[in-house]
Amino acid sequence: MSGITAYGAYIPRTRLLKSAIADANDWFDASLRGLAKGERSVCNWDEDTITMAVEAGQDCLSALDQRSVSSLYLASTTLPFLDRQNSVVVSQALNLGDHLRTMDVAASQRAATSALITMLESGRAKGNSLLLASEHRRSKCGSRAEMLWGDGAAAVAVGDDDVIAEYLGSETYVTDFVDHYRGEDSTIDYEWEERWIRDEGYMKSVPLAVSRLLEKTGVKASEIAHFVLASDQARTPAAVAKKIGIAAEAIADNHIGEVGVAGVAQPVLMLTDVLEKAKAGDLILLTGFGQGTDAVLLRATDAIAGRRPKTGFSGALARRREDKNYNRFLSFNNLVDRDVGKRGELDKQSYLAAMYRRKDLLTGFIGGKCRECGTIQIPKEKYCVNPECGALDSQDDHPMSAVKGRVMTWTADRLTFDWNPPAYFGLVEFEGGGRLMMDFTEVEADAIDAGVEVSVHFRIRQFDNQRGFRKYFWKATPAQQ
C-alpha cells in the first residue's frame, strides 16, 4: 500500500493586519476595505522559499526517520535561484546525506500536486520520498493579491510503509488556461479578471478532472469527507463543490483571513490541516488548479491519529505575532527603495570556494564530537577543544540544528547594519556542549536576556546584491517567542 506517511507545516510567525494595508492604500482604492478583515502571514526579512521549506521539512521529519528519505522534491514558483538546484540546499540543511535524488518543480500553481502524483505513481527505491512546497510571492502595493496572499510552506512524505493516507488514484486535466502569468523579466504576477477565472477556469476544469477520478475509482462525490481546493476566491470552493455534488461541510478552509493563500504551497498546506483532523476511513480529495487541474484521492488509515508532527498546521497557525507596520512589510519584500546607509553599502562578495569547504557547518550546522573524550564543539575542528584532551582528528560529525541552547551573552547593536534594527547577536551555549557566536532573529524588545533558551533556524545571512547571490546560515531565536 502506497500513500502519505508523514506531514509537516510552516507558517511565518509575523501576521500583518489587513487593516494596515487598507489604511495605507484605501485613499486610492476604497474597495480594499471590503478585504480588510483578518491578517496574512509575512516572511521576516531573512526568510524565503528555501528557509521555509527547511522548517516544513524539519516538522515532517519529526514524525519520520530522516534516514528513510531517498528523494526530495521542492515545488515553488518563487525559487531564489534560477540556475542552482534549490532542493539541494534544502536537503543539505536537513542533513539528508549525499545519496539523495533531488528535483525542483516549478512554473505552475499545481507544481506541488503534480509532483505528488509523480511520487505516488512512480516506482521508488526503498524508503520515503519527501515533497516540500514553499511560496513567497511578491505583489503590487495596494493590490487585491497583497490583501489575500500569504507566505508559507508544507511537507508530505510518500512511501509504502506505515501509511497514514492511502493513495486510491489520481487524474489530471491539462489546458493552457492563462489566469495569470509571470514572464522571465518580472517578479510580480499579471492576473486576469476574477469572474472569468472562476467561470471558465475553476468551474469547468476542476469538475472535469474530479468526475474522471471519481468514475475511475468508483467513489461517489457524496462520500468525500474532505475537499481541498486552493483559491483566493472565497466563494469559489463552495460553488465548485456544489457542482460536483460534494457536501458543503467537506470543504477545507483556505484560511484566507488568518494566513492568506500561499500559492504552490497552498494545496499541501491545506492537506496538512486536513490530515490533522481526518479520521480513519475518511476520503480526502486533493486538487491543484493551474493550467488545468490535478485531482488526487486519498483514504485515511488507522495509523493517522498516531503520526502527528511536532508542530503541524495547527501549531504553526497558533504561533503568531501581530504586526501593524505596513512599511516594514514593503521593506522586507523589496517593494520600496530604502536608504540603507553607508554600512549597508559594503560589498558582500560571496567566496564560493570557502563556502563549499565549510558547507557542513554553514548549511548543515554540523559540529564535532570527540571520540576520545566525548566533548562536543562547534565548529568542528582538527583538534579537540577540551584542554585535558586536545586529540587530533578525533571528531565525528555531530548535527546541532535540533539542539536547544541558552544565551550566554547578547548585544543589541544599532551601528551594525541590519534590515530590522537593532542587530542582535551573542554567544550561545548548547545543551550537551558547544558554544558559538550567533545572530539572533525575530527578537522582540525586552524578550532576550542571559539564560534565555533558544532554538536555531536556517535563515538568510546576507544578500550579495551586486552578484545576485544570497548567503544562508543558522540563527538563534528565543524559544518563548
The pLDDT value given to residue 351: 87
Domain identity same for 130 and 262 = yes
Domain identity same for 117 and 210 = yes
Per-residue pLDDT 10s for the chain (481 aa) are 899 999 999 999 999 999 999 999 999 999 999 999 999 999 999 999 999 999 999 999 999 999 999 999 999 999 999 999 999 999 999 999 999 999 999 999 999 999 999 999 986 557 899 999 999 999 999 999 999 999 999 999 999 999 999 999 999 999 999 999 999 989 999 999 999 999 999 999 999 999 999 999 999 999 999 999 999 999 999 999 999 999 999 999 999 999 999 999 999 999 999 999 999 999 999 999 999 999 999 999 999 999 899 999 999 999 999 999 999 999 999 999 888 877 777 777 888 999 999 999 999 999 999 999 999 999 999 999 999 999 999 999 999 999 999 999 999 999 988 999 999 999 999 999 999 999 999 998 888 999 999 999 999 999 998 899 999 999 999 986 5
Q: How many domains does the chain have?
A: 3
**Would residue 376 count as lying in a domain?**
yes
d(CA 306, CA 294): 29
CATH classification at residue 449: 2.40.50
Domain identity same for 69 and 54 = yes
Residue that the C-alpha cell 495605507 belongs to: 24
d(CA 228, CA 277): 13
Domain identity same for 432 and 461 = yes
**Would residue 253 count as lying in a domain?**
yes
Domain identity same for 428 and 466 = yes
Phi, psi for residue 451 in degrees, rounded to 5: 95, -10
Buried b (16+ CB within 10 A) or exposed e, 319-351: ebeebeebebbbbbbebeeeeeeeeeeeebeee
Domain identity same for 313 and 381 = no
pLDDT per residue as tens digits for the range 129-165: 999 999 999 999 999 999 999 999 999 999 999 999 9
The pLDDT value given to residue 125: 57
The pLDDT value given to residue 53: 98
Residue 401 DSSP one-character state: T
Do 200 and 171 touch, CB atoms closer than 8 A? Answer: no
Global pTM value: 0.97
For residues 275, 280, 281, 284, the Cα torsion angle rounded to the nearest 10 degrees is: 0
Domain identity same for 391 and 407 = no
Domain with 380, as residue range(s), is: 366-399
**Would residue 325 count as lying in a domain?**
yes
**Would residue 8 count as lying in a domain?**
yes
